[in-house]
Structure 1
Amino acid sequence: MKVKYIIPLIPAMVAFTYGSYLVRWIFAIITAAILFVYSLEDVEIPAKFRFKPEVNMDDEIRRLSNIVKRTERSNTARRIVVDHILEAYHNMGYEYSDLRKNPPEALRLLKDESNFLERLERSLEILEEEVK
């Protein structure tokens, strides 16, 4: 038998054995409080707020397409695209530190200074081949 079930028996026995009316009521209330706390143990309160909002894939695709459009003139957008490709490699099992030290061909292509969109297309083709 678990100790958890013996604990409320102690004040309950005191409540029955002592002759004083006030002492019996106090121990009866203590026993009721202990049993009430035990009853709350299995209650799950639903969260009001979701910490991870549901992402609509259409919105995500639009957002990424806008970022790709901005890569022609924005270095920040280029870094975001490179980070997404890094994340894809990480999901395939590569470590970030290894990817930074010895990047795969798809990431090395993106570091060149020529047309970024052409290099991005070639990089995504290489990534697709590696995923298969």
Structure 2
Amino acid sequence: MNEAELTVRIIAASGPPAVDDLTTFLRKRVAEDRTALESAPPATTSPDQPRLAFVNVNGGTTAFLPIARFIAHLDAIDTTLDKHDAALSNVLRGREMNWEHSNTQAAMVAYMDVIKLHAVEYAAHPDYRENWRP
């Protein structure tokens, strides 16, 4: 399979509009989580302790974990989404110009795999689609 065929297959498998739906879904969930975390009252009253959040893990266990950790996680998801969008843009632009971008295509596919893994965190949300599972 040559580069042009590979590009067509990649875009057909993960390109717009499916990518737009998934990335939009994930960006919305991240924004909701960020707002909730940033406005959460502290779970501890000691000024020497980091701000903690109640986090539902393992199907119902509640844990107290540092809010800063979760904000860093959301930042990482945002960065992954941005890098995927940039790679997709380069692949589409290259396709129009008949450029070969095998490294960019591979990066785009890898970012999409990571995006799908992050989206699974929100699988209980009513807007999540089962075909987004990795």
TM-score if structure 2 supplies the norm length?
0.26
| Structure number with higher helix proportion | 1
TM-score if structure 1 supplies the norm length?
0.26
Higher relative contact order (CA 8 A, sep 6+): 2
| Structure number with higher strand proportion | 2
